[in-house]
Structure 1
Amino acid sequence: MRNQNILYVCVNDGSDTRVIKEISTLSKEYKVFYLGIGTKSESSFSLEMTEQHILISGSHKSIGTILKLVWQLILLLYKFNFKKVHVVDEQLYCFIFPLLIGKRVTLDIFDSYFLKLNLPGNKFYLLKRIIYGLPRKIIVTDENRYSLLPKFAQEKAVVIPNVPRFAKYFKKRNTNDYLTICYFGSLNKDRGTYFLEKLLHYDDNIKVIAAGWLTDDYTKLFVNHPRVTFLGIKKQSDVNAILAEKGDYLLSVYPVNNTNNIYASPNKIYDAIQTQTPIIINSEIFVASFVKNINIGYVIKNSLNIDFEKLIFELKEKRNSYSFNDKLVEEYSWEKYETKLLNL
């Protein structure tokens, strides 16, 4: 019986892959009310799974938009009895935690603002004592990020990886002359656009399939390249089907300018496992060692000094040499973690 209300508060419009999976799971046992930022569109995929889906138009970087969200939160708390509240990310919780005192709050940390400021562990302890001390539970996406929480917060934290739903994909092994690289998620100059632009410059036999959120003008210009196919915002299951059928590699590179990026927990690693498509990742990212150890992708040794001609040769040479197995697919599937989320 879905006889209890749960409020899910986030700065996303409901199109984020992790948000969609969480809401689909929570909606099995709760009536989910969603409060986010953005405008309703075809990509607000979680809309159909919620009792109410309230979006505040504007940018999450705008104080005015955040204040509008706070006011809407006050109205919702007055109108409905929410015993449970799920809040995504620390910076949003900083603005709204006084309104949630006395509620059963789960703080879900996708990207840590403290880690972006290079403040892991007990650094900024007093503020963390408030932000991490008030929620009943904290969710992090992997063991590495768990270890970067202050000790007192680790006692209430659980790990729920950013893995996809289980699906059977038929992996097509491409033998054509073209190398097709898939570029999905938050698309940004420093998160892969510049790297791909270099690849396209050095080799005419490289194509790019892109899907997701265009987060800077550099990338908006890039997706107009004649050898780039941009699909817009798609469901995770849809892009994974494309990845399995057409992708030779899935790109996942990060700038190494803060602790949050160095300890990134990219869902793309698990998408690569499930679709049996090798990933490209830079060695400076902590999880690159996992990619190398189980041989599921190409690790760029030094992302700040790349020999692109050598890189392209090796990508083509190795594209069908990586190892995948069904055990990994089952291990890293969302269904394995649904009970853990509901038990919070």
Structure 2
Amino acid sequence: MKLHTRTNYRTVILVRSRAIDPSVHKVAKVLAQNNYNVKLLIWDRKGEKYFEKLNGYSVRYFSIKAPYDKVSVAFYLPLWWLYEFFFLLLSDAKIIHACDLDTLLPAITIKLIKKVKLCYTIYDFYADNLPKSFPSFARKLIAWIEKFSIGLCDAIFIVDPTRYRQIKGARIKSIGILYNSPPDYVEGRFASKSSATREVTLFYAGLIDRSRGLIDILKVIRNLDGVKLIIAGSGPDERIFKNLPSYLKHKVEYVGFIPYEEVMKRTLEADILFALYDPSIPNNIYASPNKLFEAMMCGKPIIVNEEITATEIVKKERCGLVVPYGNVEAIKGAIIRLKRDPKLRLMLGRNGRLAYEKRYNWKLIEKKLISTYRELNEFLARSLN
């Protein structure tokens, strides 16, 4: 008979189906720093990695090539679920932390078989993240499955308070907010600078998809002097930036997928950030962009569209400008306004930085995460001894 030791109680497996997402690595690092034995299972859809050690935790990759953010990924899900099921079955973890619905069902099965504890982070409510053309009945079925599954979890995390509207009606035992805030990369040495230089830099790092307002940004840049656009990331529409027309090549730099540390470096070097989400996709309305909190942490102004709930933070903290989605003239006007007024850029950036320090600092979010895990850990210790 296997003895249950304190180490057993503190063994955690986090599961995420997106290798390009830094959020789960932040959670893994925090847990490892708090003496948890952390293993991370990730689906590497480029099929390039198998195993590595990072920041005190290990990462096992499911290396099967598959697309991101396309319905065709459904054909690969059974293989992913099978791999996840056996990985969890053979592990000694007493806490499983699933992320999004495409990791949750195998995790629930293992919870019921092995009587372990299950945390669940909802980065994107699955039914609302499906394409507009997806059948309504299927969307409702998937929403019901996710809400029912939430009732089988021991703790739920959402990335913004407004996300509760998406899961309203689900049986929730415990819920916490894990904002998409970055760790403080500039703590103790922050100095927001903004000068009236002839050229300003507009920076975006994230999913390369038309639904992120990128085509509108290109339309603006085409006829706007003194603005350079730097784009980082990967996605279904990256070919647009790989094959730019000649009249844009001197204005737009596409750097592809870059490490998160370089994202932060380029954010600090930029003058303006933007986060635009097509509101016709239901999940986009509840977008809680990494870019918003990265801009706040780095003291940079951000342009967001008025239809998303993240606008509530931008308006409350006075850290950016708000435009209607798809309104090229409004976007152009916001960029010109920020370009011509370095004092405004400085004020918005400082407002964002102050709000980050007081309300959205990753250290504050860490405390809630560790508190929840401590409660689960204590319950396991009582029940297994």
Query: TM bucket by the smaller chain?
Result: 0.7 to 0.9
Q: CA deviation at 1:155?
A: 4.6
Distance change in 2, residues 1:233/1:103 (3 Å): same
Segments of 5+ residues of structure 2 without an aligned counterpart are 1-5, 374-385
Conserved? CA contact 2:97–2:118, under 8 Å: yes
> Is the aligned partner of 1:328 residue 2:333?
no
Segments of 5+ residues of structure 1 without an aligned counterpart are none
**Which residue of structure 2 lines up, in the alignment, with residue 136 of structure 1?**
154
Instruction: Map Cα deviations across residues 158-206 of structure 1 (whole Å, 9 max, x no partner).
Output: 1111111023243331321112101111122220320221122111322
Residue type at the aligned position of 2:211: D
> Is the aligned partner of 1:185 residue 2:199?
no
CA distance in 1, matches of 2:21, 2:244: 22
Residue 238 of structure 1: SS of its match in structure 2?
Answer: helix
Distance change in 2, residues 1:78/1:256 (3 Å): closer
Aligned pairs for 1:84-233 (under 5 A) are 84-94=95-105, 97-101=108-112, 102-116=115-129, 126-168=144-186, 169-216=190-237, 217-222=239-244, 225-233=249-257
CA distance in 1, matches of 2:156, 2:202: 35
CA distance in 2, matches of 1:213, 1:341: 29
Conserved? CA contact 1:249–1:319, under 8 Å: no
Q: CA deviation at 1:76?
A: 2.2
Residue 53 of structure 1: SS of its match in structure 2?
Answer: strand
2:60 is matched with which residue: 44, 53, 62? 53
1:285 is matched with which residue: 279, 284, 308? 308
Aligned pairs for 1:12-91 (under 5 A) are 12-13=18-19, 15-28=20-33, 29-38=35-44, 39=46, 47=54, 49-59=56-66, 61-91=72-102
Instruction: Map Cα deviations across residues 80-130 of structure 1 (whole Å, 9 max, x no partner).
Output: 2221111110233246533432321111100111333699xxx76753453
Residue type at the aligned position of 2:236: T
Q: CA deviation at 1:37?
A: 1.3
The alignment's C-alpha RMSD in Å is 2.9
CA distance in 2, matches of 1:64, 1:53: 22
Q: CA deviation at 1:242?
A: 2.1
What is the aligned residue count? 337
CA distance in 2, matches of 1:312, 1:278: 10
Residue type at the aligned position of 1:264: A
30-39 vs 303-312, which deviates more? 303-312
107-116 vs 27-36, which deviates more? 27-36
Percent of paired sites with the same residue: 23
Scaled by the length of structure 1, what TM-score is found? 0.86
Greater helix content: 2
Scaled by the length of structure 2, what TM-score is found? 0.78
**Which residue of structure 2 lines up, in the alignment, with residue 239 of structure 1?**
263
Residue 17 of structure 2: SS of its match in structure 1?
Answer: coil
Structure number with greater Rg is 2
Conserved? CA contact 1:110–1:140, under 8 Å: yes
Distance change in 2, residues 1:312/1:129 (3 Å): closer
